[in-house]
Amino acid sequence: MGQFFTKYFPNVVPIWSGDGGVTQAINETLYMTVLTAVVAGILGIVIGILLVLT
Tell me: the pLDDT tens digits for 1-52?
678 877 888 777 776 666 677 778 888 999 999 999 999 999 999 999 999 9
Q: Is 11 left (phi over 0), alpha (psi -120 to 50) or beta?
A: alpha
* CA–CA separation, 11 and 21 (whole Å): 12
Kindly list the domain boundaries of the chain, sorted by start residue. Answer: 20-54
- The pTM of the full predicted model, rounded to 2 decimals, is 0.61
Query: Which segments within the chain are labelled E, that is strand?
Result: none
